[in-house]
């Protein structure tokens, strides 16, 4: 029985720096065999929660400055992150979506 090839470890510090240099651009964090692992890391990136040992903190700081997404691949799950600089890029979209949702619940008035 052959073993699966070892994948390179994600360099989160490098990924966060690269994303900051290219705001709004999706940067590859890594590809994970386990979807749950990729989704857990995606959540940690977006929330600014420490990765690994809490003593070391997270390079994806401050909380809310990064977005993350996962997508299935042939070999697992791809994890990507992008720097939004405090969520400016996504907050406008979220504000509009919330305003529409509230308007529809309240009969069209906000």
Helices (H) and strands (E) in the chain, counts: 3, 3
pLDDT digits (tens, 9 = 90+) for 23-69: 999 999 999 999 999 999 999 999 999 988 777 788 998 889 999 99
pLDDT digits (tens, 9 = 90+) for 85-105: 864 444 444 555 556 666 666
Q: For the chain, which residues make up each domain, given as ranges?
A: 12-105
pLDDT digits (tens, 9 = 90+) for 2-33: 666 677 788 999 999 999 999 999 999 999 99
Percent of residues in the chain assigned helix, strand, coil, to nearest 5: 40, 20, 40
pTM, whole model, 2 decimals? 0.71
CB 84 within 8 A of CB 67: yes
């Amino acid at each position: 029985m052959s073993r699966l090839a070892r994948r390179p470890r994600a360099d989160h510090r490098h990924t966060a720096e690269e994303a900051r240099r290219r705001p709004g651009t999706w940067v590859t964090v890594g590809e994970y065999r386990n979807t749950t692992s990729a989704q857990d890391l995606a959540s940690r990136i977006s929330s600014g929660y420490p990765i690994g040992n809490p003593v070391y903190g997270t390079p994806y700081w401050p909380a809310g400055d990064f977005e993350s997404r996962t997508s299935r691949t042939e070999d697992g799950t791809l994890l990507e992150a992008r720097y939004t600089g405090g969520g400016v890029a996504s907050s406008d979209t979220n504000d509009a979506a919330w305003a529409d949702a509230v308007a529809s619940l309240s009969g069209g008035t906000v």
